[in-house]
Amino acid sequence: MSAEIKVPQLGESVVEATVGRWLKSEGDAVAVGDPLVELETDKVNMEVPSTAEGTLQSIVKPEGETVGIGDVIALIAERESEDGARAPREVAPAETPTAGAPDQPASRSSPVGAEAAHPADSAQDDGHESRATPLARRVAAEQDVDLNQVTGTGPSGRVRKDDVAAYLERQDATAAAVSPRPDTAPPTEVLSADQARAISASLPPLETDEGRREERVRMSRRRQTIAQRLVEAQHNAAMLTTFNEVDMTAIIDLRKRRRDAFKERHGVSLGFMSFFTRAVIGALKAYPRLNAEIQGNEIILKHYYDIGVAVGAEEGLVVPVVRDADRLTFAEIEREIATLAEKARNNTLSLSELQGGTFTITNGGVYGSLLSTPILNAPQVGILGMHKVEQRPIALNGEVVIRPMMYVALSYDHRIVDGNEAVRFLVRVKELLEDPETLLLEG
């Protein structure tokens, strides 16, 4: 018998996902708990494990398809006994071979319900059932393609959907090259902008005589969400950015003096982030509108400090949240940020670790950025951008000296934060960072 693999609960308020990458292929042996597929949600990716032992009989939902909670995404042909025998592939009653008939391969069953076989299937299934994926067979049947003519690029020469598509493209190109050119050109059709974009999106990658190529890559669900929310933030907020610079001499000297003892005692390195987190909290207490959000015609002032820390992951930027950061010591802040960053890199962040947040800090300096204008993390109304520390000449007490300087940027929502308030907030952050001993007095 076959066991159904369904989409599990995806987390609070998440009702659908995109099938990202299948980790097993049809015909692979699987055990209970083996990861089968990655599902992409708006915030995190998750692996769906097998709930049965046997063979991956059918992939019902291919990569790139949108699925909902409870949807069947795969079928597992379960083992019948302890000796390793597997259950036969599930077939529809009409497809079961009649008694006394010679052994023939059964016709494939549709993953979305029984459908009439395409006339071309009989020729394709004769000895080629195992060398083509179900999706490739379906596309070949729809396009009346003989799989004998298609070169497979999958494991052991297995034909995939992309192989069928490439074969069709070559056939089209050949047909276009040998077709006679008409004596008179047809009337030119004027296309709308939407029609032109639709046609452009359907065109194959461009290849010129110089060998330049274009590649069309599916945007991950997380990247789609990032794009949508960044555009929404710019459209829905009156966003403005103010800048300042911080002399990092005091913090760098303090880290040099305390670094080894700090790590030995707490098991974590003393970085810049704990200083900036504490400085932001001190400034937020002085200017609480930057720790707020807008709901309708009301301002929600938040008297707690959940600081989001932007982390660059392989599939896009994520912002895990350090909860109640005002109650944490320097070591606890550094330890929490290190843990969240590691989870982001391993793609193991939970939804609860990404939700909420009252203010965000982003550090483009780790990538070498000297200056930038960060975009708000809606519905928050403030975000602080850190940048690269660079030795620069400055005027100090009437003399030119070389100091480690960092530009800082504050983007804010001008709807509820006035310019003078934003400027004073950033000046307060600067003051606390340049005299880090005062950070102990701000908690």
Amino acid identity, position 79 = R
pLDDT of res. 363: 94
pLDDT of res. 388: 96
Chunked mean pLDDT (size 10), the chain, 443 residues: 86 78 89 88 81 90 88 85 46 38 38 38 44 74 83 73 80 62 50 58 58 80 78 87 97 93 92 96 96 94 96 82 95 95 86 90 93 93 97 94 97 96 97 90 61
Token duo for residue 264: 């030995």
- In 3D space, the residue among 176, 246, 164 whose CA is nearest the CA of residue 435 turns out to be 246
Phi, psi dihedral angles at 301 (to 5 degrees): -85, 130
Cβ-contact 267, 339 below 8 angstroms: no
Which residues sit opposite 411 in a β-bridge? 241, 383
Task: Pick the catalytic residue from 146, 260, 418, 435.
Answer: 418
- C-alpha neighbours within 13 Å on the C-beta side of residue 337: 29
Cβ-contact 72, 5 below 8 angstroms: yes
List Cβ neighbours of 110 (8 Å cut-off, separation of 6 or more): none
Token duo for residue 305: 């400090």
Q: Which domains does the chain have, with CATH numbers?
A: 1-90 (2.40.50.100), 111-174 (4.10.320.10), 223-441 (3.30.559.10)
- In 3D space, the residue among 301, 308, 335, 338 whose CA is nearest the CA of residue 323 turns out to be 308
Q: Is residue 387 flagged as an active site residue?
A: no
Identify the DSSP state of 77.
E
Give the sign of the dihedral formed by CA 132, CA 57, CA 119, CA 172: negative
Cβ-contact 410, 241 below 8 angstroms: yes
Cβ-contact 371, 210 below 8 angstroms: no
Cβ-contact 403, 396 below 8 angstroms: yes
Q: Is residue 28 flagged as an active site residue?
A: no
pLDDT of res. 128: 46
Cβ-contact 302, 295 below 8 angstroms: no
List Cβ neighbours of 257 (8 Å cut-off, separation of 6 or more): none
The torsion defined by the Cα of 18, 23, 25 and 28, in degrees rounded to 10, comes to -140
- In 3D space, the residue among 105, 72, 77, 69 whose CA is nearest the CA of residue 6 turns out to be 72
pLDDT of res. 196: 58
Q: What share of the chain is helix, strand, coil (3-state, %, to 5)?
A: 35, 25, 40
CB burial of 142-165 (b: ≥16 within 10 Å; e: otherwise) equals: eeebebeebebebeeebbbbebbb
pLDDT of res. 94: 38
Q: Is the pTM of this model over 0.85?
A: no
Nearest-angstrom CA–CA distance, 9 and 251: 46
Token duo for residue 293: 């959000």
Mind spelling out the 3-state secondary structure of 319-369?
CCEECCHHHCCHHHHHHHHHHHHHHHHHCCCCHHHCCCCCEEEEEHHHHCC
Nearest-angstrom CA–CA distance, 158 and 155: 6
Cβ-contact 78, 2 below 8 angstroms: yes
Task: Pick the catalytic residue from 28, 126, 146, 414.
Answer: 414
Nearest-angstrom CA–CA distance, 402 and 394: 6
Nearest-angstrom CA–CA distance, 218 and 224: 10
Give the N- to C-terminal CA distance of the chain in Å, as an integer: 63
- In 3D space, the residue among 304, 287, 272 whose CA is nearest the CA of residue 387 turns out to be 272
Nearest-angstrom CA–CA distance, 254 and 428: 20
